[in-house]
Structure 1
């Protein structure tokens, strides 16, 4: 980057700030305290129609302090990590704790659960990229897409690259830190013919810049996806199978995880309350997390409570095997933390996998969904209704693009109706999944 930055070199400073905050909280009478501190730096470039639109160099830092006093909790934070600011933040957190109501579930996670294995998980790969080089990569990506016949204009290409370090410490004596990096490149294009205009995009993302796709490949893929949407029409209305492309299937897993998250459960805001052990999926389907996976997009040896992360199985042979709990939500539910404060880390599927052709052949007639719109997911009832776009499938073959329709069902019915999972696994995020074939949903089209 154009500004020198060494995430690892920031760790001693953040550690000192965290220890300073803990010591001050003790002096001010807090029973317990936890501190999170971080520093991040990144570069962001956007280009459009061959011209540079934005160049952003960012450097962010922050410190957050939570104190506990007799069942009361107070939290405060600041983006200023000076000695004076740290003192003010701790004083504010202590003052807030004096006025909050008592909560028997509030407090640090048990000391015995603090992480003791803190290996290097290979998640920090800085990119020595100048601003000029970043601009050239974004321009090359866009140019490759714009050069494809049928592409009318560009909505732009963007490159982002960042690295940072975070430290978590608490008054149990635990202190953990981790450096990390993330890099991405994307392109969005527009095509037009006598039937109208269509747009689509593609992207690549990785911890290690060497794992990114070539800029030209991203641009060409964005053009191909855009051109495939030309001539879209509305599909027939009816009850039909739906194939969720791998790029959107991970969202279904996200909805599942939100429904088994402790916060939703103790608020009674989930259709999966009190459902442990119930069969939700076919017996051939399992879902698990691997937080200690080397190089994973969400890998971490400790969660946001400082608890040692571990492999968890959430769906085992179709049954709901575990909820996703932090220390606080576990206490509210009378259960034990699963090391998931901050969410699940590196979700993976264990299931027989089928090729795209096999999935289409099994579908026969229905809709392949490649884009979802709207927020029509009700976590309390499980009802699911989203705007969608994709492709009409007949006799196991893609016939033409479709748009301006909705797909609707209930998530429990969708999970039980999972007919197959594809081998086209999307590995760009923390959820790795192939396409999902759901046996039947309501399609509302023309």
Structure 2
């Protein structure tokens, strides 16, 4: 990041004695496990999240909000056979812990038995910790955070004369300790950090105002985009939306940017999640080992990436994670199952309690070409680049997809103008099968890394 000359005399807001905190969490976790077992629980698990950090938002070069937080969250789950009870607390006194155990046990005793309830099998527990370099504190103070946000907003406001207003720039820095233990003997604590810088700007011309933004998020603050880069990108995006026009209703190919493509991946993952499958509420029922995407598509889960935003050597049940293909040559390789959904489906858990752990989607197309964003647009020739969607028009039962959208009209492979007040519609199963290419413009600001997607014809509703 850009070096800034600021006072660092304040007490760092992300200062955390990790060793002492981990020892405390382990001690509390052991107390909860012991007390629950003493109450007659056959199985017990404890999940803890401890978070510390601050966030500063500035607007028009003045500090708008400054938030400091230090939160604890303890969740206890007990099983009496196949009866389950859950209770939470943020109070670590022995009296509060005892009350939490009593509450969880009382709930379990009055809960209907479910033969699929219980901890994941003991033999599936992770046994080999992996150093993933997730904790990269920067010694942030309120003054440091303020100066980063001010610099980012100033760069955006100065980038273009048409940028006349700001909705603010925000710098946030947090550290977290995630702790999980269960009565199988599994116990692990993982410290991590997360830093972000964002800017939202408003551009104006004779037709009116347009708003857009840019942001960067990483584990290591040294890997954040510079304040200058973020401010300038936010300004460029806002200005590019000026002079928008409406278009007629028609059916044409669509390029979706990485942000929108990630949303489609999220729909795909929701459809192969265990809960959707055992409830028979997914458009991808019975698709395991079947082609879902074209043959050039590969999606690889990478849980052991250093400083990865979703890296972990165990899932939320203590099951060992592993590198694995989710899609290989277009074919669905695995569902996403925790132990409960696996039992419901009479399958094995896949290490996805809590979700995927870094999904990387390879660029390419059917001709083994790696195309840049500009090349995707040229290949589309005429159509729509979608940069924003809104609304909740996704039906995971039948795959129907309909979202409000905005973006850019393309003719002869060139961007012509901004387009708004439109709706795009299709069916996710058909959209996935009709994917034409994935671009090389990979976006690493998420645990799902992908480039832009060129999709076959979709219905674009305009005038």
TM-score tier, shorter chain, comes to over 0.9
Structure 1 residues 101-144: Cα deviation after superposition (integer angstroms, max 9, x where no partner): 01000000000000011111111101111111110110111111
The structural deviation recorded for 1:312 is: 2.3
RMSD: 1.0
Q: Which residue number corresponds to residue 300 of structure 1?
A: 312
1:140 aligns with 2:140: no
Work out the CA distance in 2 between the residues paired with 1:2 and 1:319: 47
State whether residues 13 and 52 of structure 2, in contact with CA within 8 Å, keep that contact through their aligned partners in structure 1.
no
Residue in structure 2 matching 1:130, options 120, 132, 141? 141
Secondary structure (helix, strand or coil) at the match of 2:448 reads coil
Work out the CA distance in 1 between the residues paired with 2:409 and 2:323: 39
Structure 1 residues 324-363: Cα deviation after superposition (integer angstroms, max 9, x where no partner): 0001110111000000000001001134231112101110
The structural deviation recorded for 1:3 is: 6.4
Residue in structure 1 matching 2:117, options 93, 103, 106? 106
Work out the CA distance in 2 between the residues paired with 1:390 and 1:3: 39
Work out the CA distance in 2 between the residues paired with 1:383 and 1:247: 20
State whether residues 7 and 163 of structure 1, in contact with CA within 8 Å, keep that contact through their aligned partners in structure 2.
no
More off after superposition, 378-387 vs 76-85: 76-85
Q: Which residue number corresponds to residue 430 of structure 1?
A: 447
Post-superposition, which runs of at least 4 consecutive aligned residues in structure 1 deviate over 3 A? Answer: none
Structure 1 residues 2-38: Cα deviation after superposition (integer angstroms, max 9, x where no partner): 4642334311100111010000011000000000112
Q: Which residue number corresponds to residue 201 of structure 2?
A: 189
State whether residues 14 and 53 of structure 2, in contact with CA within 8 Å, keep that contact through their aligned partners in structure 1.
no
Secondary structure (helix, strand or coil) at the match of 1:46 reads strand
Q: Which residue number corresponds to residue 8 of structure 2?
A: none
Q: TM-score, normalised by structure 2?
A: 0.95
Residue in structure 1 matching 2:103, options 92, 97, 107? 92
1:372 aligns with 2:384: no
Q: Which residue number corresponds to residue 75 of structure 1?
A: 86
State whether residues 63 and 79 of structure 1, in contact with CA within 8 Å, keep that contact through their aligned partners in structure 2.
yes
State whether residues 424 and 460 of structure 2, in contact with CA within 8 Å, keep that contact through their aligned partners in structure 1.
yes
Residue in structure 2 matching 1:42, options 53, 61, 70? 53
Residue in structure 1 matching 2:264, options 237, 242, 252? 252
State whether residues 156 and 201 of structure 2, in contact with CA within 8 Å, keep that contact through their aligned partners in structure 1.
yes
Q: TM-score, normalised by structure 1?
A: 0.98
Residue in structure 2 matching 1:316, options 316, 328, 335? 328
Structure 1 residues 351-393: Cα deviation after superposition (integer angstroms, max 9, x where no partner): 4231112101110100001111111111111000011111000
The structural deviation recorded for 1:293 is: 1.6
Correspondence list, 1:234-245, <5 A = 234-245=246-257
Residue in structure 2 matching 1:410, options 423, 427, 430? 427
1:230 aligns with 2:242: yes
1:160 aligns with 2:172: yes
Secondary structure (helix, strand or coil) at the match of 1:55 reads strand
Which residues of structure 2 form unaligned runs of 5+? 1-11, 365-369
Structure 1 residues 390-441: Cα deviation after superposition (integer angstroms, max 9, x where no partner): 1000011111111110100000010011000000000011000000000110
State whether residues 288 and 313 of structure 1, in contact with CA within 8 Å, keep that contact through their aligned partners in structure 2.
yes
Work out the CA distance in 1 between the residues paired with 2:414 and 2:398: 34
Secondary structure (helix, strand or coil) at the match of 1:252 reads helix
State whether residues 418 and 438 of structure 1, in contact with CA within 8 Å, keep that contact through their aligned partners in structure 2.
yes
Structure 1 residues 192-230: Cα deviation after superposition (integer angstroms, max 9, x where no partner): 111111000000110000000111211111001000000
Secondary structure (helix, strand or coil) at the match of 1:109 reads coil
Q: Which residue number corresponds to residue 275 of structure 1?
A: 287
Residue in structure 1 matching 2:38, options 27, 35, 47? 27
1:262 aligns with 2:279: no
The structural deviation recorded for 1:294 is: 1.5
Which residues of structure 1 form unaligned runs of 5+? none
Secondary structure (helix, strand or coil) at the match of 1:389 reads strand
